[in-house]
Structure 1
Amino acid sequence: MIALVVVVLTHQWLPQARWLMVHMVTLGLISTSIMVWGQHFTEALLKTRLGEESRPRQVARSYLLTAGVAVTIAGMLPSWPWVVVVGALLVSAALVWYAISLGSQVRAALAPRFAFTVRAYIGAACLLPAGAVLGAVMAFSPGEPWQGRLLLAHQILNILGFVGITVTGTLLTLWPTVLRTKADPVATARSARGLVGMGVGVVGASIAAIIASVSLGVAFVLVYAGSFAWVAITLVRAGIRSARQEHRIELPWFPILSIGAGMVWFMLGLLRLTALWWRSADEQLASSLVAADVQTLTVPFVAGFLLQVLLGAMSYLLPVTMGGGPRAVRASLAMMSRFAVVRVVIVNLVIALFVLADKGTAASGALFAGLTVGTTDAAGFGSWARVLASLLAFAALLSFLVLMVLAIRVSVRERKALMASGGPGGPDASAPLPSPALRGATDPSASTATTGAASPSAPGSGTDPSAPAGLDRRALTGALLGAGSVLGVTAVGSSLDRAYGSYGDTGAASGSGGTAAPAAGGAVSPTGQTTTVAVSMAEMRFHPDVIEVPAGNDLVIELANDDPHDVHDLVLADGTASGRLQPGDSTTVEAGVISHDLAGWCSIVGHRAMGMTLRVTAVGAATTGHAHGGSAGASTGGDELARVPMDLAAEPGEGYAVRDAAMPPSAGQDQRLTLEITEAALEVAPGVSMDAMTFNGTVVGPVIRSELGARLTVDLVNNGSMGHSLDLHAGRVAPDEVMRTIPPGKSLEYTITTDYAGAWLYHCSTMPMTVHLAAGLLGVLIVPPQDLATADREYVLVQSDHYLVPEGAAGHAEAMHEGAHPVSPAKIAAERPDMTVFNGHANQYVHAPLEARVGERVRIWVLAAGPSRGISFHVVGGVFDTVFFEGEYLLRPDNETGGGSQALHLGAAQGGFVELVFDEPGTYTAVNHSFVDMERGARALIRVTT
């Protein structure tokens, strides 16, 4: 918990911050708590208590789990996937050990009446290793749709399976205890069958996610939700019984409210998952939810469900586990429930506002306005409002740690008072741990805690006849105070958003990062009228691209993607976003009250730079000449053209496999291959990752070799998140069909005859081409000339130049993959590359040199793939006796003039080869003799031995 607090406070400066915060909760807090408390409840429910000699083994399991979490984090932060694999194995080992231990206790129990809960623990624990394996695979950044499939299965196994089944099984006995009511053992055993159904639902839904079956996935999620509802009926009935009882002392309201709210969010999350998954059947991806869709479930599941259930349960379990007698237990429980209603209302209202603001539908907007009593609308919930609301919710959650310390102090004080009066020091620590369900079956008045602490209402506990039996006017006051706090900070934040722009940096519409002054003339009063405008997206333009709205009117945009091939979206500078629309899709964007000019753009990489922008003009506002701009999440602190810092002398990262530069063998006269387009975070320099678009998973696609006059068929498959295409320079074919842009989930067949020799470029030809090529969508097709003699060594070097958005600059926060740098259209336009590299990675052959022997003939094929930089290829210490440039020999051995060559000069999209023989052993350097490019990473070593 302390580590999580530190991470939350410093996340702005941490890599992989979102992943880190989520996994500090799930992998750290939740998994550790389940392991500790699962063992505790197992002993209580089976009416056994392990000997003290078993405790060191349990502690060792906790250490193993903690080590696994630490190693996993250590691998994720610098993007070392193999380290993540080791961490996943350690976490899995700890949970398997835990499951085996619980199984042995069930077999040894004499009367395992409530063994179904322990068996649920065992089954749930066995699901986590499967989820950990999927998490380790995702560390290698597979592209879509696999990233979305794996993430969905990962969340199903870990949250719905490991956590959901464990929590639900525990609540069957813990919930009546917290409510101080009798558990019905028959109803409990009957409802426990739902745990089996939840397990079946988890396994089926996770398999459906991986195989991309929407109907099967939705069916199994409904099986899971129905099974959970079957269990929840028993929990609700326990709540009703408790409400009808007369309690002599006040119930511990924070555990009740927090756990109850968490379970409500759990059910809402299940319904949201079902709806999202069902709607994905209509997407052209035709596979499953993409990662961005799955991530929308993070807030309700992690903050709404996991954290609230954990803190609620801990608020009850810690006091009763400490024991110390009825007075100590009652006093510490009361301390943990201080300001219970205020805390729960703040947390849940903030979560609700975040969830509703991000949905972007008319219904969610209306509900958002209702929850804020009309003080704020979803469109006005910008970054200032989000930050202030987040801080308020964080403070409410953080209060748990403060109250925990105070509860310990209160418990110690009551113990001392009891000992001073000559009373007992507390319950016998070696006594068996009774279960509430077990005792409740025979003793209707029993309300003993699962931990064996004495009942707070036992004789001598000091009952208070005036204590309220339920929520009273103080609770109403707390609810109003909590809601008022959220409404207050939201209103203040929305005012700041309106005055200074939603993202705190309202640069010009071009995204230059400048800061706009607040609109003059004060706020604009809402007119109550609505302006509705139909906007079409096609051919890299919004139609219309200027929308005039009377100041104070609500703006509703009926947005349609009429582009037949490409994916588009609309983002407004106040944070309103449409989400990505596939070709032919449409949606309604509610922009809220327009009080000042507003910039808009398409956030698909490169589209904004090509002019896909929109301007909303507030007609009649005091200042209408300035469009509030800036990109979502952008920062004013960075120079967009500044070079990304990197250590080019360092070795490639541990997770990077050096590309084999050897020429591939001939594939014959009739070749068919597949080029699959995916998107991933890939390393392009030591410690520097790029939001890459790839052919077959690598920056710079595979080397394709064809023979003169051969038939080459390429099956292009687009599994990216936007439109892509293919241009094979070696072919003579009308581009209309085979070079067309295809949307996500589609494929095409592209056939050519390779009639001409050369080193030919192939690349994505979807606009903006510079962005797609700089992101990695390029490669070389080699067609050797007629009667080419065999060389002893034959290598291929493809030079490409790459342009990255530096941290802190406008657009960096729009990265598709956390920890990666997006491609920078601004640097491309300014011709300021961060790196110029061979075969997709800067200086990789400096640390893994090419090999040759003295006297061997070495042939090196070279392509200047661009998108912009050419090459003057030179080998330091070598002389070329053969030069083949763009389909013709410029130089052959034993030529009449006795000439040799020092460099092969190629412009962008030109290629050829050179040959040389090394006379002496040593280490030779192949470079781009345009030294500025060599110093950006276009360098390779050739180690020559005897």
Structure 2
Amino acid sequence: MNRSLLLASSLIASFLLASSIAFVPYFSANNVVRAQETENQGEVKHITLIASEKQVQVAPDNALHPGGIMYNAMVFNGTIPGPVISIDQGDTLNITLKNEGQTIHSLDFHAGFGPSKAVSGSVKPGESKTWSLTGEFPGVFMYHCGADGLNGVWEHISNGMYGGIVVHPTNEEPAKEFYMVFSEIYNSADKGPFVGTNGTAGSFDIGKFISKNPDLVLTNGMSHKYVPAVGEVNKLELNKDAEIFKVKPGELTRWYIVNPGPNDGVSFHFISGILSVKDGSNTANNGFGTQDINDETWWIPPGSGSVIESTFPEGGVYVGVDHAMADVVKGGAFAVLAVENSTATDHPEGTCVPAKGEGIVCTAAEAEETQAEGAAGENQTATDDEGNEAEDKGANNNENGNEAEDGDSEVTQNATMLNTTGGNTTANGTMMAGNMTGNMTGDMGGNSTMGS
């Protein structure tokens, strides 16, 4: 055997050995992943994520999608996206994955550092796994299903198995905080704009996926979920049930924006607004590192999250968009109303994020404390071990409608915030460069319309 052949054989063997080591965490048959050891003195919190398959609505009934669009999805805790998970830097998070679905699922936490913390390994139907990670780095990070050792991960992400975990830094300025997930749907039954699916619930389309041609861009699980209409003169109604984000003029807001993709990036922009990006770690002050200040647009690649801060200087209508215009047509936008009587509890359902020092779940009481200069309130987390029931000032909290793994307690993850009265509010503003409604009226319960 000549020297070149020996060298080639050696290189191939080395590559195979390295590859086998690299992918051991994904293909491991170990039933329990070792918990991460830490010297930090943070709290220990627990989250249960339940994997299943279900049919969900991904587009409202409108002219673009007659009759609305239903889709055969894969979900965590019953919804797209999965619940936002909120911990503080240094906290230990115990994660339980229960597979109540019909196929193999798994979890990949981008906030985990090391294979025994980041990935669960495959979990067969009817089984569960528990492991731990420590929130070492502040920011917002994606979590998603890794399917069966990466085999089919593209389909599971495309089908809705993703969410975000927020790690609050030690020194974090109080702000009103929101959870927002942009994502894509590749639907076998969707025939395109103004046609839709003719009432057929579709499934993952590998051809559309490979060609990177999504039918819809979702915001927190639905196309145009937070956009009632476009058009100031010629109005096109998009979602008569749309909820609107509400903030006070001049109030600091913080948006935890996650882009699971699976293919496209998000060119995030606030129409009529300026944004700053707070991501990564700043070891000098135990806070966020700052990548960008007072910018117009920020690129969020697939598989990533960014912490966006913005102050809306005056009353009126602002719009958060993926500034790739095709993605706006497909659903990638949400409306923000700056109005004086906005309250701490008027988040659209599923968008509240517990502030630093508070529970893993978001309750109305915690949101009030967040707005009141970030005062650390009583931890209202109902854990599986304690079996307690979280109280939401009389509201029944549940984890996206699912029971916690142990005990009979129900916890709120992505809670519906208590509706507050305060009269109807009206703000005039120009959206979508003059083409996205000039008059937006909304009540504090979240029922809003935009139109001339």
State if a TM-score over 0.5 links the two structures: yes
- Asked whether 1:744 is paired with 2:118, we answer no
CA displacement at 1:828 relative to structure 2:
0.8
- Say yes or no: does 1:771 pair with 2:155: yes
What residue in structure 2 maps to residue 890 of structure 1? 291
Aligned to 1:715: 96
Contact preservation (8 Å) 1:671, 1:713: yes
The residue correspondences of 1:854-873 to structure 2 (distance < 5 A) are 854-873=249-268
The aligned runs of 1:917-936 (5 Å cut-off) are 917-936=311-330
For 2:201 and 2:106, the matched residues in 1 are separated by 24
Match of 2:189 in 1: 806
Q: CA deviation at 1:907?
A: 0.7
Report the residue type matching 1:863 in the other structure.
V
Question: Which amino acid in the other structure matches residue 178 of structure 2?
Answer: Y
Whole-angstrom CA distance in 1 between matches of 2:313 and 2:161? 38
Partner letter of residue 332 of structure 2? A
Residue identity matched to 1:682? V
Structure 1: which 5+ runs fail to align?
1-562, 566-667, 810-814, 893-899
The Cα of 1:909 is off from its aligned counterpart by: 1.5
Q: Secondary structure at the match of 1:794?
A: strand
Alignment partner of 2:213: what SS? coil
When residues 795 and 872 of structure 1 are mapped into structure 2, their CA distance, relative to the original with a 3 A threshold, is: same
Partner of 1:723, secondary structure, is coil
Question: Aligned with 1:864: secondary structure?
Answer: strand
Query: Which amino acid is 1:783 matched to?
Result: V
Q: 1:905 to 1:886 in 2, by over 3 A?
A: farther
Question: Are 1:853 and 2:237 matched, yes or no?
Answer: no
Indicate whether 1:726 and 2:107 are aligned. yes
How many angstroms does 1:923 deviate by?
Answer: 1.1
- Conserved in 2, the CA contact under 8 Å of 1:854 and 1:917? yes
Aligned-pair distance for 1:733? 3.0
Secondary structure in structure 1 of the residue aligned to 2:52: strand
- Indicate how the Cα distance of structure 1 residues 931 and 916 shifts in structure 2: closer, same or farther if over 3 A, else same: same
Q: Tell me which residue corresponds to 1:146.
A: none
Report the residue type matching 2:290 in the other structure.
Answer: Y
Equivalent in the alignment of 2:218: 837
Question: Quick one: structure 1 residues 754 and 807, their matched pair in 2 at CA, closer, same or farther if it must change by over 3 Å?
Answer: closer
Residue matched to 1:678: 52
8 A contact 1:759–1:886 mirrored in 2: no
Letter in 2 for 1:864: N
Distance 1:727-1:879 versus aligned 2 partners, 3 A rule: same
Query: 1:921–1:745: structure 2 CA closer, same or farther, 3 Å change rule?
Result: same
Which of the residues 131, 136, 143 maps onto 1:762? 143
Task: Return the TM-score normalized by structure 1.
Answer: 0.27
SS at match of 2:45: strand
Per-residue deviation, 1:808? 8.9
- Could you tell me how far 1:736 is from its partner in structure 2? 10
Aligned position for 1:385 = none
Aligned residue for 2:157, secondary structure, equals helix
Counterpart of 2:264, as a letter, is: R
- In structure 2, what residue type is equivalent to 1:691? N
- Asked if the contact 2:111–2:118 (Cα under 8 Å) also holds between the matched residues in 1, the reply is no
Counting only pairs closer than 5 Å after superposition, residues 66-215 of structure 1 correspond to structure 2 as none
Is the CA contact (8 Å cut-off) linking 2:117 and 2:133 kept in structure 1?
no
Aligned to 2:333: 939
The residue type equivalent to 1:884 in the other structure is K
Q: Tell me whether 1:787 sits opposite 2:174 in the alignment.
A: no
Amino acid at match of 1:889: T
2:73 paired residue number: 692
- The amino acid that maps onto 1:777 is M
AA at the equivalent of 1:917: T
Query: Deviation at 1:819?
Result: 4.2
C-alpha distance in structure 2 between counterparts of 1:945 and 1:711, whole Å: 38
What's the CA shift for 1:891?
3.7
User: Would the alpha carbon gap of residues 729 and 884 (structure 1) be closer, same or farther in structure 2, given more than 3 Å must change?
Assistant: same
Percent identity for Structure 1 against Structure 2: 29
How far apart, in 1, do the equivalents of 2:118 and 2:212 lie?
32
Q: Which residue of 1 aligns with 2:24?
A: none
Secondary structure of 2:207 counterpart: helix
SS of the aligned residue for 1:820 comes to coil
| Conserved 8 A contact 1:761-1:909 | yes
Q: Does the residue aligned with 1:706 lie in a helix, a strand or coil?
A: strand
1:886 positional shift? 4.5
CA contact (8 A) 2:118 2:133 kept: no
Bigger share in strand: 2
Q: Are the structure 2 counterparts of residues 735 and 689 from structure 1 closer, same or farther at C-alpha, using a change threshold of 3 Å?
A: farther
Q: CA deviation at 1:903?
A: 1.4
Aligned to 1:157: none
In 1: Cα distance, 2:117 partner to 2:270 partner: 41
The one-letter code sitting in structure 1 at the alignment partner of 2:45 is Q
C-alpha deviation, 1:786, in angstroms: 2.9
The change in CA–CA distance for 1:737 and 1:743 in structure 2 (over 3 A counts) is farther
Map 1:494-573; keep pairs closer than 5 Å: none
Q: TM-score, normalising length from structure 2?
A: 0.56
SS of residue in 2 equivalent to 1:700 = coil
Q: Structure 1, residues 722-766: CA drift from partner, whole Å, max 9, x if none?
A: 101001111123259952111110100121111011111100111
Q: Deviations over 1:201-255 (max 9, x none)?
A: xxxxxxxxxxxxxxxxxxxxxxxxxxxxxxxxxxxxxxxxxxxxxxxxxxxxxxx
Q: Describe how 1:217-366 pairs up with structure 2 within 5 A.
A: none
The 1:564/1:857 distance shift into structure 2, 3 A limit, reads closer
Relative contact order (C-alpha < 8 Å, sep 6+): which is higher? 2
Partners of 1:807 and 1:669 lie apart in 2 by 46
Pick the aligned partner of 2:180 from 797, 813, 817: 797
Measure, in 2, the Cα distance between the counterparts of 1:925 and 1:836: 16
* TM-fit CA distance, 1:715: 0.6
How many pairs are equivalent?
266
Tell me, in whole angstroms, the C-alpha distance in 1 between the residues paired with 2:298 and 2:187. Answer: 28
Change (3 A) 1:871 1:885: farther
CA contact under 8 A between 2:58 and 2:222: conserved in structure 1?
Answer: yes
**Which residue pairs with 2:443 in the alignment?**
none
Say whether the 8 Å CA contact 2:117–2:131 is kept in structure 1. no
For residues 753 and 885 of structure 1, the distance between their equivalents in structure 2, rounded to whole angstroms, comes to 18
Q: CA deviation at 1:855?
A: 1.6
Q: Is the CA contact (8 Å cut-off) linking 2:320 and 2:333 kept in structure 1?
A: yes
Measured in 2, the distance between the counterparts of 1:922 and 1:744 equals 49
Asked whether the equivalents of residues 733 and 752 of structure 1 are also in contact (C-alpha less than 8 Å), the reply is no
The aligned residue for residue 206 of structure 1 is none
Pick from 655, 669, 674: which aligns with 2:43? 669
- How far apart, in 2, do the equivalents of 1:732 and 1:885 lie? 17
Counterpart of 2:111 in structure 1: which amino acid?
A
- Which residue is 1:706 aligned to? 87
Q: What are the superposed Cα offsets for residues 384-407 of structure 1, whole Å, 9 maximum, x if unpaired? A: xxxxxxxxxxxxxxxxxxxxxxxx
Please say if residues 799 and 837 of structure 1, whose CA atoms lie closer than 8 Å, have aligned partners that are also in contact. Answer: yes
| Larger Rg over CA atoms | 1
Given that residues 873 and 904 in structure 1 are in contact (C-alpha distance below 8 angstroms), is that contact kept between their aligned partners in structure 2? yes
Contact 2:269 2:323 survives alignment (8 Å): yes
Pick closer, same or farther for the CA change 1:703–1:737 going to 2, 3 Å.
closer
Q: Provide, for residues 66-117 of structure 1, a one-character-per-residue CA deviation record: whole Å limited to 9, x for no partner.
A: xxxxxxxxxxxxxxxxxxxxxxxxxxxxxxxxxxxxxxxxxxxxxxxxxxxx
**CA deviation digits over 1:369-393, x for unaligned, max 9?**
xxxxxxxxxxxxxxxxxxxxxxxxx
Per-residue CA deviations over 1:155-198 (Å, capped at 9, x if unaligned) read xxxxxxxxxxxxxxxxxxxxxxxxxxxxxxxxxxxxxxxxxxxx
Residue 551 of structure 1 corresponds to which residue in structure 2?
none
User: Matches of 1:942 and 1:729 in 2, distance apart?
Assistant: 29
